[in-house]
Structure 1
Amino acid sequence: MDEVRINDRAVPWREGLDLAQALDALGIEAGRVATALNGDFVARERRAATLLAPGDAVAVFATIVGG
C-alpha cells in the first residue's frame, strides 16, 4: 500500500490527498502546528493546495510563542 509519513506515522496515500486532509486523518489540530513537506516549510494557508505523493515525509512541529 502506498503511504505518506507524518512524524514517522504512516498515513495511507490516495489520489488527491492534500496536506490538510492528512493532518486531519491523524487528528492533528492544524491551527496549532507548523509543517514541512520533504524538508520545505508549508504555510498553513497552502496546506489544502499541497498535494501529497507516495513516499512523502511530513514533519509537524508544535508552534512556540512567547519570549
Structure 2
Amino acid sequence: MPNDTNIKCVTTHEVGHSVGLAHTNVVNSTLKSQSIMTSGEDSFVNWNNTSPSSYDKDELLSKWGY
C-alpha cells in the first residue's frame, strides 16, 4: 500500500531518471540501500529513502559536472 514516504521515494527516483541517472549499478549492498536510484525490483531497495545519497550526487557530478 503506498504511503507518503513511498510516494516521495518513487517521485525522487523518477526525477533522478529525468536528469539522466540510471539505476544504481554497484555491487556494494550498503550503497544500493542508500541510493535513491536503486531499482524497485532490487532486494536492496529502501522504500523509506526520500533523498539522493552521496553516491547519487557523485553520479550527477560525473554526468553533468559542477
Length-normalised TM-score, structure 1 = 0.30
Q: Relative to total residues, which structure has the larger helix share, 1 or 2? A: 2
Query: Which one has the bigger strand percentage?
Result: 1
